[in-house]
Chains A and B, each alone.
Chain A
Amino acid sequence: MVTLRIRRRTFVAVVALLALLAATIGIASWSTSTSGNGYSKAATATALTLSDASASTTGDLYPGGTGDLKVKVANPNSFPVRITAVSLTSGGTITSNVGACNTAGHGVTLTNQSGLTIDLAANAVATVETIAGAVNMSTSSDNSCQGAIFTIPVDVTAASH
């Protein structure tokens, strides 16, 4: 009888440890940067969708100055999310819609952003979000870059919120 109790207690302890281990593994996988891993929400979660924001840009970028970055983003998930960071895609190249500007040098760069608090409601349709002052233009930007639209490849990081 005593032996049986010890076995049951041992079994309970083992099961509890396994359960906690499973939960820990689950948490670890939810915080990865890829979508859809692990978590019960993540089982149906999908990444944000980004679309063309060029029509929403305003000509605010001068040589030696900064301008706004526009991203058009939708949240297809059934839960709200918060955009926390936007950075230039590794190996990405910023280009303009003016050939001469690209050839002669536009001098446009992106300052990677972190600590952002851009909230998207659940199932939010595509809306244009503005990250003020994130884009820089060098003082030597070619004259042909006036009025040019710059396409900036970005990685947008978001978390459930």
Chain B
Amino acid sequence: MARPLIVAVVGLALLAGTAGASWNATKSGDGAARGASLAQGAKPTAVKSGVVVITVTLSWSATPGATGYVVSRTGGVGSLGGTCTGTLATTTCADTPVLTLQTYTYTVTPARNSWRGAPSLGTSVST
């Protein structure tokens, strides 16, 4: 009389345990991520304007991933001015005033916080 009952109780208990079971495990290994890259800056175009006060207006195409641009100028006398100094959030700026009878070469470097892309090819302007 009692034996079947024992078997039934034991069976039900084990079944209940199996039904509620779940496998759970943690495995260590390596994941991966990759840093992006800033491309070389696009070569700017330069347009000279003005007679008394000469201005060189630069514009360039955006570089993917860049959030800013640094314009550099070499050659001639004086230093970069106008709206072309510092890190720019735009893709255009005006270097003014510039001296006459000078030849300047402009490059644009893409930036994103601490990263810099390669400078663009230079664009020369004679004033």
A48 interface residue, CB < 8 Å from B? yes
**CB < 8 Å: which of B17, B24, B25, B113 contacts A22?**
B17
Interface residue from B9, B32, B37 paired with A12 (Cβ < 8 Å): B9
Residue from the list B29, B65, B114 in contact with A51, Cβ < 8 A: B29
Cβ-based interface call for A64 (8 A) = yes
Q: Mark B74-104, 1 if CB is under 8 A from A, else 0.
A: 0000000000000000000000000000000
The interface bits of chain A over 78-110 (1 if a CB of B lies within 8 angstroms of the residue's CB, else 0) are 010100001001000000100001000010101
Chain A neighbourhood of B36, CB < 8 A: 59-62, 67, 146-147
Distance of A156 Cα from B112 Cα, bound (Å) = 33
Question: In whole Å, how far is A91's beta carbon from the nearest beta carbon of chain B?
Answer: 11
Residues in chain A near residue B9, CB distance under 8 A? 12, 15-16, 19
- How far does the Cβ of B29 sit from chain A's closest Cβ, in whole Å? 3
In the bound complex, CA of A10 to CA of B106 (Å): 97
Give the size category of A's interface with B: 35 or more
Q: Is A12 a contact of B2 with CB atoms below 8 Å?
A: yes
Contacts of A135 in B (CB 8 A): 33
Query: Within residues 1 to 43 of chain B, which ones have a CB less than 8 A from any CB in chain A?
Result: 1-2, 5-6, 9-10, 13-14, 16-18, 20-38
| CA gap between A147 and B36 in the complex, in Å | 5
Tell me if B33 and A45 are in contact (CB < 8 A). no
Interface of B is mostly: mixed
Instruction: Tell me, in angstroms, the Cα distance from A156 to B30 when the chains sit together.
Output: 10
Contact A31 B22 (CB under 8 A): yes
Q: Are A52 and B32 in touch, CB under 8 angstroms?
A: yes
Given A31-B24, A60-B36, A160-B22: A140 in contact with B114 (beta carbons within 8 A): yes
Given A26-B17, A53-B32, A79:B23 Cβ within 8 A: yes
Specify the chain A residue showing the minimal Cβ separation from B29: A50
A121 at the interface (CB under 8 A from B): no
Within the complex, the shortest CB–CB distance from B122 to chain A, in Å, comes to: 21
* CB–CB B23/A160 < 8 A: yes
Judged by a CB distance under 8 angstroms, whether B116 is at the interface is yes
Check B115 against A154 for contact (C-beta < 8 Å): no
Other-chain residue from A22, A51, A77, A145 in contact with B35 (beta carbon distance below 8 A): A145
Residues on the B chain within 8 Å of A57, using CB = 32-34
Is the beta-carbon distance between B34 and A34 smaller than 8 angstroms? no
A146 in contact with B35 (CB, 8 Å) = yes
| Partner among A36, A45, A96, A143 whose Cβ is within 8 Å of the Cβ of B116 | A143
The CA of A158 and the CA of B25, in the complex, are separated in Å by: 6
**Which residue of the partner chain, among A39, A45, A60, A152, contacts B31 with CB atoms under 8 Å?**
A152
